[in-house]
Amino acid sequence: MSGFLDNQAPSPEAEYVRFLEGDVFGKMLLKSYLLRVIGLSESDIHIPIGRWGDMNAEPHGAADALVLLNGRWLAVEVKLARLNIANKSIGQTKTNWAFNNILRTPSKAAKAYDILFAVGVNVLGFENPGYWEFFRSTILELSVADPSLSETVLPHEPAFLNLCGAFILPFDSIPNNHFRVTLSALSSSPFNQYFSWLNNTTRCKEIWSSALAVGISADQA
């Protein structure tokens, strides 16, 4: 079976994922991470689909997501990045994740929240003509460790976490309004201390706990 518009896609659903809007995509991955990796319950998580409508009711605020911890709702900023290849027009091939507008909105208004969840997905940008070839080779490689991973995997399914890595930072530890990490140099990046692949449960819990500890301490200071 192929996609509806794109006959290179393995299915219409996979085609939809390629074009999924980043804000919603990131929120889906955050919820999957919180439920399946951190072990929170549905009642501990509030993720509004948009910033309008239900955002006027408590405990809602201007956050992308809220997480209940010890009776308090923590505000989480969600950012998502697909792989980018900088300067590919001159032959560069190194992939990176770039996250923008972390501390300020595009209109320069300051943001305030507790935790940043910046998730990178190991797929190329939807505009890249090599998307499906790269996607298939990535799935083939990762499915050795997790046979449930297939070309038709969807973001809400546990296997999709194999394709994702996240940087989880307390607000006061964020140095700039944007950052970019080249995957081949990730281990030497100053942001590596906040990073985990989302299929690494132990490491995921470590960086989540560290971010919470710093974020809550700063808020109570």
Contact call for residues 210 and 166 (beta carbons, < 8 A): no
Q: Distance between CA atoms of 124 and 127, rounded to whole angstroms?
A: 8
Q: Distance between CA atoms of 204 and 213, rounded to whole angstroms?
A: 14
What's the pLDDT band for 214 if we cut at 50, 70, 90? confident
> Is 1 within a domain?
no
Going by C-alpha positions, the residue among 186, 48, 178, 12 that lies closest to residue 100 is: 178
Going by C-alpha positions, the residue among 23, 70, 71 that lies closest to residue 48 is: 23
Question: Which structural domain range is residue 196 located in?
Answer: 12-220
> Is 160 within a domain?
yes
**Structural domain count of the chain:** 1
Q: Distance between CA atoms of 189 and 183, rounded to whole angstroms?
A: 9
> What's the first-to-final CA gap in the chain, in angstroms?
57
> Is 7 within a domain?
no
Report the run of H or E that residue 46 belongs to, with start and end: strand 45-46
What's the pLDDT band for 216 if we cut at 50, 70, 90? low
* SS3 of residue 199 by DSSP: coil
C-beta atoms surrounding 159 within 10 Å: 17
> Is 96 within a domain?
yes
pLDDT digits (tens, 9 = 90+) for 88-136: 766 677 999 999 999 999 999 999 999 999 999 999 998 889 999 999 9
Contact call for residues 29 and 164 (beta carbons, < 8 A): yes
| Average of per-residue pLDDT values in the chain | 91
Q: What's residue 221's pLDDT? A: 45
Q: What's residue 93's pLDDT? A: 75
**pLDDT > 90: what percent of the chain?**
80
> Is 36 within a domain?
yes
> Is 62 within a domain?
yes
Phi, psi of 76 (to 5 degrees): -120, 130
> Is 92 within a domain?
yes
pLDDT digits (tens, 9 = 90+) for 175-201: 999 999 999 999 999 999 999 999 999
> Is 198 within a domain?
yes
